[in-house]
Chain A
Amino acid sequence: AQTVTQSQPEMSVQEAETVTLSCTYDTSESDYYLFWYKQPPSRQMILVIRQEAYKQQNATENRFSVNFQKAAKSFSLKISDSQLGDAAMYFCATGGSNYKLTFGKGTLLTVNP
């Protein structure tokens, strides 16, 4: 079984500053993936970043990067130079050999101008 915990229901950040969203997970899988998805009010889930658990190097995608601590089962998302368009719900998810995603409850990010 897999569980994902996002301990921050809401976060806010000033435009152009940096914010970190937290995620911890638990899984019995030895080979798994971790994802951050963004869900704006339009409801469409958009992939932000993806990390293979077997890779030690943290994934980065432009202004988005992760801090993957495998032993601690932690997978935080850092957003640098925050923009107004980054405002959304952010979901952490894990996927394994059962090919389904298990999501956390989400963190609502507000970006203040």
Chain B
Amino acid sequence: AQSVTQPDIHITVSEGASLELRCNYSYGATPYLFWYVQSPGQGLQLLLKYFSGDTLVQGIKGFEAEFKRSQSSFNLRKPSVHWSDAAEYFCAVGDSGGYQKVTFGTGTKLQVIP
């Protein structure tokens, strides 16, 4: 069965600093990988996704993620964090099954300090 691990429950960074959120997955074949962001009390918004091809994926809001098969990782990065990036971030892995089953990690809550 597929699974996702986000080892950091809570991360605090200063505004303007770089950010890396970790994600490790377990899946038998080539995975479909996603990063979603959730602002307090809101639904989830897709930041970026990886299906195949270039392992460095660019997303919205200046985020990028790199798929590393050898490390089973899909870490999310941003070179300079803005206060509006404070939110909870979820990594997810999907399979190619007909109904698009997606398994989510437990999330990493990002706090941005001035």
A joins B in a complex: no
The chain B residues found within 8 Å of chain A, CB to CB, are: none
- Residues of A at the B interface (CB closer than 8 Å) are none
